[in-house]
């Protein structure tokens, strides 16, 4: 039931503080601020490589997780979209963990990749939202997201819950490998537990986002820029906008702009910049200036500090709470989801059932 919401997608966006808290609750122990994964019957500390395979939004969650596995556990990570994975003849060495991320647990390409990895002797981990799904049944390590049923075709709450699970897994692996001290683990857990409240503060800006949607709705093309773990969020923002508003959108790593896409910039192409203040901020801002110098119209999504420093001359800004970099990808998911949602509402498209799309893609 939609309750007071106009669409399932909107309801699911607003459920995120609750369901992310639920998911974190099952992977973190608040009593001593530690990560507590389900019983694992293989040696996580012996894993020497991770191969992540997924599609669409779940793939972007995997892209964020790559930063975490490498940063925390110092384990090399390969990542592919499932439809490309098998056909490039991937080298799967002994001691590898193959990790499949899927809301439905039924996506045909991802499931086929899972079976391929299983046959190749990889340990199989899955992050799925449907615990009775095919992927869940075939896993050595099942890590459910507790997002509850997702009805809107565009994935929202499943994504942030996937991120929550993946952050916990990366920290746990780092601890097992002796790469993360007890104090660092507690620190990571504390930051993760701040996520639900920060998601709530992000949702407080719903009205601001609704009132700027008319600036984006007439555009034919929109670019999204981000750096580091916020780069996958730029990709996710572009995907959300494409699928429900039918506006052509692309996400780019901010630094790639000058290698081509900047040629597209004119006053008709809005550029959405995701830039939490922090170590990567200055670099992103200088990419943003390159856009502005060419007449580009920028929407900056940042925190108070970032907006104060670089918010001038933007056609609009969206203020996020100041958050630890670890949880920024979860929190910044909210404004990109809401922006796509409100633009689609302005355009009057069928938000929950966008044309040509199915909730679960069970054919290759």
Catalytic residues: 359
- Contact region with ligand F6R (CB under 6 A), list: 5-13, 100-108, 137-145, 266-274: 100-108
Per CB under 6 A, does 210 bind ligand F6R? no
Per CB under 6 A, does 284 bind ligand F6R? no
Residues 6+ apart with CB under 8 A from 337: 9, 13, 154, 156, 240
Per CB under 6 A, does 102 bind ligand F6R? yes
Per CB under 6 A, does 145 bind ligand F6R? no
Q: Name the minimum Å distance from CB 214 to ligand F6R.
A: 23
User: For residue 154, which of 360, 350, 352 has the smallest C-alpha distance?
Assistant: 352
CA quadruple 336, 340, 345, 350: dihedral sign: negative
Rank residues 10 and 155 by Cβ distance to ligand F6R and give the closer one.
Answer: 155
For β-strands 49-54 and 123-128, DSSP reports them as unpaired
Q: Of the candidates 10, 51, 110, 287, which one interacts with ligand F6R according to CB under 6 A? A: 110
C-alpha to C-alpha distance for 232 and 275, rounded to whole angstroms: 12
Q: Name the minimum Å distance from CB 332 to ligand F6R.
A: 16
Q: Which residue carries 């890590």 as its tokens?
A: 143
C-alpha angle 27/303/62, rounded to 5°? Answer: 40
Tokens for 364? 């290759």
Q: Name the minimum Å distance from CB 155 to ligand F6R.
A: 4
Asked whether the beta carbons of 226 and 233 are under 8 A apart, the reply is yes
Q: Name the minimum Å distance from CB 105 to ligand F6R.
A: 7
Q: Name the minimum Å distance from CB 6 to ligand F6R.
A: 18
Residues in the chain: 364
- Four-point Cα dihedral 325, 155, 273, 165, nearest 10: 10
Per CB under 6 A, does 10 bind ligand F6R? no
Residues 6+ apart with CB under 8 A from 245: 217, 340, 343, 344, 347, 349
User: For residue 40, which of 179, 176, 180, 171 has the smallest C-alpha distance?
Assistant: 176
Per CB under 6 A, does 16 bind ligand F6R? no
Per CB under 6 A, does 319 bind ligand F6R? no
Q: Of the candidates 107, 145, 277, 319, which one interacts with ligand F6R according to CB under 6 A? A: 107
Tokens for 358? 């199915």
User: For residue 99, which of 74, 73, 118 has the smallest C-alpha distance?
Assistant: 118
Q: Name the minimum Å distance from CB 102 to ligand F6R.
A: 3
Per CB under 6 A, does 337 bind ligand F6R? no
Per CB under 6 A, does 243 bind ligand F6R? yes
Residues 6+ apart with CB under 8 A from 211: none
Contact map string, positions 41 to 70, toward ligand F6R, x by CB under 6 A: --------------xxxx------------
Largest CA-CA distance found in the chain, in angstroms, rounded: 57
Rank residues 109 and 303 by Cβ distance to ligand F6R and give the closer one.
Answer: 109
Which residue minimizes CB distance to ligand F6R?
56
Tokens for 342? 């409100």
Asked whether the beta carbons of 140 and 115 are under 8 A apart, the reply is no
Q: Name the minimum Å distance from CB 352 to ligand F6R.
A: 12
Rank residues 236 and 303 by Cβ distance to ligand F6R and give the closer one.
Answer: 236
Per CB under 6 A, does 192 bind ligand F6R? no
Per CB under 6 A, does 103 bind ligand F6R? yes
Q: Of the candidates 98, 155, 302, 317, which one interacts with ligand F6R according to CB under 6 A? A: 155
Q: Interface residues with ligand F6R (CB under 6 A)?
A: 55-58, 102-104, 107, 110, 154-155, 239, 243, 360-361
């Amino acid at each position: 039931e939609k309750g007071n919401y106009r669409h399932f997608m909107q309801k699911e966006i607003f459920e995120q503080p609750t369901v992310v808290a639920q998911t974190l609750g099952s992977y973190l122990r608040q009593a001593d601020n530690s990560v507590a994964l389900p019983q694992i019957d293989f040696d996580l500390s012996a894993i020497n490589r991770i191969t992540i395979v997924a599609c669409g939004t779940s793939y972007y969650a995997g892209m964020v997780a790559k930063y975490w596995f490498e940063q925390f556990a110092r384990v090399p990570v390969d990542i592919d979209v499932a439809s490309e994975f098998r056909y490039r003849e991937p080298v799967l060495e002994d001691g590898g963990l193959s990790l499949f991320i899927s809301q439905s647990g039924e996506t045909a390409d991802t499931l086929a990749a899972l079976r391929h990895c299983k046959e190749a002797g990889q340990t199989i981990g899955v992050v799925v939202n449907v615990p009775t799904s095919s992927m869940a049944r075939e896993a050595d390590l099942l890590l459910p997201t507790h997002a509850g049923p997702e009805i809107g075709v565009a994935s929202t709450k499943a994504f942030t819950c996937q991120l929550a699970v993946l952050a916990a897994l990366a920290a746990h692996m780092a601890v097992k490998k002796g790469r993360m001290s007890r104090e660092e683990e507690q620190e990571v857990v504390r930051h993760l537990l701040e996520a639900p409240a920060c998601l709530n503060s992000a949702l407080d800006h719903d009205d601001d986002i609704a009132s700027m949607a008319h600036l984006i709705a007439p555009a034919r093309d929109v670019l999204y820029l981000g750096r580091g773990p916020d780069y996958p969020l730029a990709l996710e923002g572009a995907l959300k906008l494409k699928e429900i508003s039918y506006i052509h959108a692309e996400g780019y790593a901010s630094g790639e702009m000058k290698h081509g896409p900047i040629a597209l910039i004119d006053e008709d192409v809005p550029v959405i910049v995701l830039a939490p203040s922090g170590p990567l901020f200055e670099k992103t801002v200088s990419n943003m200036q390159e856009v502005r110098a060419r007449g580009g119209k920028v929407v900056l999504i940042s925190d108070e500090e970032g907006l104060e420093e670089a918010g001038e001359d933007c056609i609009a800004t969206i203020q996020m709470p100041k958050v630890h970099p670890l949880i920024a990808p979860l929190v910044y998911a909210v404004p990109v989801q809401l922006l796509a949602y409100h633009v689609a509402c302005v355009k009057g498209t069928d938000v929950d059932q966008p044309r040509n799309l199915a909730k679960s893609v069970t054919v290759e």
